[in-house]
A and B are shown apart, each in its own frame.
Chain A
Amino acid sequence: MTRTMQPIRRFAASAGGLLLLAACASVPMPPTEALKAAEQAIASAEKARVADHASPELGEAREKLTAANAAVQKEDMVVAQRLAEQSRADAELALAKSEAAKAKAVNDEMKTSTEAMKQEMQRNPGVK
C-alpha cells in the first residue's frame, strides 16, 4: 500500500509545484531573450539614424534598457522582463515614426520641387 502511495504523492506534489510556477512565473531567471530583443531594436533604430530626428521614444527605450539591466542586477526579474519588453516596443515605435517622417520628407521635397517648377514657368514669360 505504501509502495503504491509513494509515486502518486510525489506526482501530486510536483504537479502542484508546476501549477504554482505557471501561475506566478516568479522563478528568478534573467529575461535574456527580452533584453537581447530590446538591444537589437535600439540598434536598428540607431542604424536608421532615428536620432537625426528628435525621438523621445528612442531615449525612453535606452533608459528602460538601462533600468532593465539594473533590475537584473537586483534579481528583480519580473521588472527586468517588463522593462526590456517596453524598451523594445519603444525602440520599434521610434523606428516606425522615423520611417514615416523620412517618407514624408521625401514627399514634401517632391512637392516643393514640383511647385518650384510650376512657379518658374509662370514667371517665365513663355513664348516670346
Chain B
Amino acid sequence: MKTSSHSFKLLAIAAAAAMMLSACSSGPTRPEGADEVRGKLTQLQSDAQLATLAPVAIKEAEAAVVAAEEPREDLEQGRHLVTIADRKVDTARAQAQARLTEDQRKVLSAQREGARLESRTREADIARSDANIARADADLSRSQAEMARMDTDAAKQKAAELQRQIAELNAKATERGLVVTLGDVLFATGRSELKGGSASNLSKLAAFLKQYPDRTVLIEGHTDNVGSDASNVSLSQRRADSVKSYLVGQGVGAARLTSSGMGEGSPTAGNESATGRQQNRRVEVVISNPLVSTLR
C-alpha cells in the first residue's frame, strides 16, 4: 500500500512532465532552409583551397548547421538557427578566403620583386651600355689624340728629314723657294755636258725631288760676263737643259721641270775677279716650296 501509492503518484507526475515536454516538441519538422545551408557548408568543406584555411570557423559553422538541421516544432527557433548557421558558414568562407588571399601574397610579392629586379637589371644594363659608349668615346678620342701625336711626330720626323736633306743639298730657303746652287764644276768651260763625278750631287737632288713629287722645279742657267750676251744666254739655256734631262733620266717627271737660260744678267758676285766670275757661272735649281712656311 505504501509503495503502491508512492509509485502511482510518481508515475502521475512523470506522465504530466512528459506531456509538458512533448507539448514543446510534438510534430517536429526539419526547419526550412536547413538543407541549403548544409549545401553551402559542404561546398566550402570540399573546396580544396579553402577547406583547411579556417578550421575553427568551419567547425563552428558545422555545429550551427547541425543545430539548424534538428527537426523542431518551434518554427521561429528553427528559422533563427538556420539564419545563424547561414551567417556562420558565410563567415567561415570569408575568413578562409582572406587567408587564401594573404597566402597568395607571397607569390605576388615574389613576382613583384622579380619584375623590380628585372627593371633594375635593365636600368643597370642601360647604364652599363651608356658607360661603354662613354668609354668607347674616350678610347676613340684618346686614339685620335694618339694618332694626332703620331702625325705630329711623323711630321716632325719628316721635317727633320727634309731639313737634313736640304742641308745635304746645300739648299737655301728663299722667298722663291729652296734654291740649290750647282757650281760650274759640273761643266767644262764653254760646254754644256755634265761632267762625270757631278752625278752624286745631282742624284741627291733627283732623290729629293722624287720624295716630294708635289713640287715643281725651275732650273736656271747663269754665266759670267765673258763672251756675248747671246752666246751666254744660249750656253746657260743648254746647261739648264742638261740638268733637266739628267733629272728626267733619274725619274723626275718632265712636267714638273722648267729650264731657262738667264745668261749673264743675274750675277751673284762681281765679274772683276776670277773667283767672282766662277761664282756667277752656275745653275740654280729653284724648288717651289710650300713647306718653307711649315719648316719655320
Would you call B141 an interface residue if the criterion is a C-beta within 8 Å of the partner chain's C-beta atoms?
A: no
Q: Please judge, given known A-B contacts A20-B17, A82-B76, A127-B125, whether A99 and B105 are in contact too, CB under 8 Å.
A: no
B112 touches A114 (CB 8 A): yes
Cross-chain contact A93 with B87 (CB below 8 angstroms): yes
Q: Would A104 and B17 count as touching, CB distance under 8 A?
A: no
Given A90-B87, A96-B91, answer yes or no on A20-B122 (Cβ-Cβ < 8 Å): no
Given known A13-B13, A15-B13, contact A117–B112 (CB-CB < 8 A):
yes
Query: In this complex, what residue of A is CB-closest to B10?
Result: A12
Tally of chain B residues near chain A (CB < 8 A): 44
Cα of A126 to Cα of B111 in the assembled complex, Å: 20
B 120-151 binary contact with A (CB < 8 Å = 1; else 0): 00100110011001000000000000000000
A121 and B118 in contact, given A86-B87, A96-B91 (Cβ under 8 angstroms): yes
A121 touches B87 (CB 8 A): no
Flag whether B16 is at the interface (Cβ < 8 A). Answer: yes
Is the Cβ of B108 less than 8 Å from the Cβ of A110?
yes
Secondary structure dominating the interface of B: helix
Partner of A111, one of B24, B108, B125: B108
CB <8 Å contact, A121 and B101: no
Residue contact A23 to B21, C-beta cutoff 8 Å: yes
Would you give the 0/1 interface string for A90-110, flagging 1 where the beta carbon is closer than 8 Å to chain B?
A: 101100110110111011001
Alpha-carbon distance between A95 and B21 when the two chains are bound, in angstroms: 40
Interface centre among A4, A5, A96, A107 (most CB of B within 10 A): A96
Whether A121 lies near B17 (C-beta < 8 A) is no
- Complex CA gap A9/B122 in Å reads 94
Q: How far is the CB of A59 from chain B (nearest CB, A)?
A: 14
Residue of A nearest to B103 (CB): A103
Residues of A within 8 Å of B, CB-based: how many? 42
Given A15-B17, A19-B17, A103-B98: A120 and B91 interface contact (C-beta under 8 Å)? no
Q: B residues within 8 A CB of A103?
A: 97-98, 101-102, 105
CA distance A8 to B105 in the complex (A): 69
Contact partner of A85 (CB less than 8 A), chosen from B84, B95, B119, B126, is: B84
> Cα distance A13–B20 when bound, in Å?
13
Report chain A residues within 8 Å CB of B10.
8, 12
Determine which of A9, A23, A57, A106 lies in contact with B9 in the assembled complex, contact meaning CB atoms within 8 Å.
A9
- Give, as a whole number of angstroms, the nearest-CB distance from B50 to chain A: 11
A9 to B25 alpha-carbon distance, docked (Å):
27
Asked if B98 and A16 make an inter-chain contact with CB atoms under 8 angstroms apart, the answer reads no
Q: Specify which of B24, B84, B94, B105 is in contact with A97 (CB 8 Å cutoff).
A: B94
With a CB–CB cut-off of 8 A, which chain B residues contact A92?
87, 91
Which A residues form the contact surface with B (CB < 8 A)? 1, 4-5, 8-9, 12-13, 15-16, 19-20, 23-24, 57, 82, 85-86, 89-90, 92-93, 96-97, 99-100, 102-104, 106-107, 110-111, 113-114, 117-118, 120-121, 124, 126-128
